[in-house]
Amino acid sequence: MGSAMLHHGGPSDLAPHLLMRCSNRRLPRWLAVPVVLLMILCGATPVAAQDVPAAAEMADRLKACAACHGDEGRTVGDAYYPSIAGKPARYLYNQLVSFRDGRRQHRVMAAMLRTMSDRYLGAIATYYAARPHAKQPAFEGATAEQLAIGERLTVAGDASRNIPPCQDCHGEQLTGVQPSIPGLRGLPTRYLDAQISAWKQGQRQAAAPDCMGKIARSLSGAEITAISAWLASQPYPDNAQPADRLPHEQLPIDCGGVLP
């Protein structure tokens, strides 16, 4: 499934590809290495990535997405539909595949993606990941009790119930971790609530082992609402980016969606 994403690697991905082509055309073997070096020097990009449309053109092709997710994937306010701009590319790709293959349930998304190749899904994920994220105003409707419960569970977790702190996976600032873990900030509280609840009910699934499913099932409905309210209430700096690495060496729990 991940083949589309792999095409966006550096020139080192290119060498075996070219060598294969060369041997097919009976190019003398001694020429292969110099040819590859020459291609790298000339700044050649991987074969499959060459024809991906430029960002401006992608925006035209993806007008259907903008109808709900906003221009360049940014939604603001209390719309249900999440902002997708600036989310980690691999995360977005995994979600697109999940919608297409039924691990995430949404009638409109499934219909939109039904006849999309992995390659197009990869291009869509890459496009939205590179857009600046939305300036989502902080949610102001949370009660003091929700904020207290939400903060405690989010920041400290609950070791007795095997609930790790959110930042152990989603990054120090909860802005996500490249390439597969989404940020939790700048999302509508209704959306967060609906997603964690869907995990609890089994309507949303990730690749096995489904770590978020496991965590969500340990939470009560009120706790999920409190966590969503607290997350949406946090201010979200404009320049926040997904972190490059996890806060600790390892994830506190096994997650299929994050496998290399």
Partner 1 sequence: MKLRRALVMGGAILCAFLFSVWLNKPDLDLDPIAPPNLASATTEQVRAGEYLVRVGNCAGCHTAQGGEPFAGGRAIETPFGAVYSSNLTPHDETGLGRWTDAEFYRAMRHGRSKDDRWLSPVFPYTSYTNLTRADSDAIFAWLRALPPVNQAQPESTLRSPYELQLATRVWRALYFRPAKDAEVAAMDRGQYLVEGLGHCAACHTPRDSRGGPIAASAYMGGEIAGLGWDALPLAGIDTTHDPEGLELATLLKTGIHSRGAVAGPMADVVFESLQYLRDDDIAAIVSYLRRLPIAEVPAAPRVPRVSDDERAALRKRGAVVYGEHCAECHGDDGEGQPRQYPALAGSRLVTAVSATNALRLTLEGGFPPSTEGNPYPYGMPPFSHSLPRADIAAVLTYIRSEWGNDAPAVSVVEVERR
Contacts of 186 (CB under 8 A, 6+ apart): 83, 133, 134, 136, 236, 240
Taking CB under 8 A as the criterion, the residue among 27, 110, 251, 253 binding partner 1 is 110
Taking CB under 8 A as the criterion, the residue among 3, 23, 117, 162 binding partner 1 is 117
Query: Is the separation of the CB atoms in 252 and 209 below 8 Å?
Result: no
With binding defined as CB under 8 A, does residue 207 bind partner 1? Answer: no
With binding defined as CB under 8 A, does residue 50 bind partner 1? Answer: no
Taking CB under 8 A as the criterion, the residue among 28, 54, 114, 140 binding partner 1 is 114
String of DSSP letters for 191-233: HHHHHHHHHHHTSS--SSS-HHHHHHHTS-HHHHHHHHHHHHH
Give the per-residue contact string, 153-182, with partner 1 (x = CB under 8 A; - = no).
Answer: ------------------------------
Q: Minimum Å distance from CB 169 to partner 1? A: 25
Q: CA nearest 219: which of 155, 168, 150? A: 150
Secondary structure of residue 22 in the 3-state scheme: helix
Taking CB under 8 A as the criterion, the residue among 25, 51, 54, 238 binding partner 1 is 51
Which residues contribute to the site for partner 1 (CB under 8 A)?
Answer: 51-53, 58, 60-68, 100-103, 108, 110-117, 119-120, 123
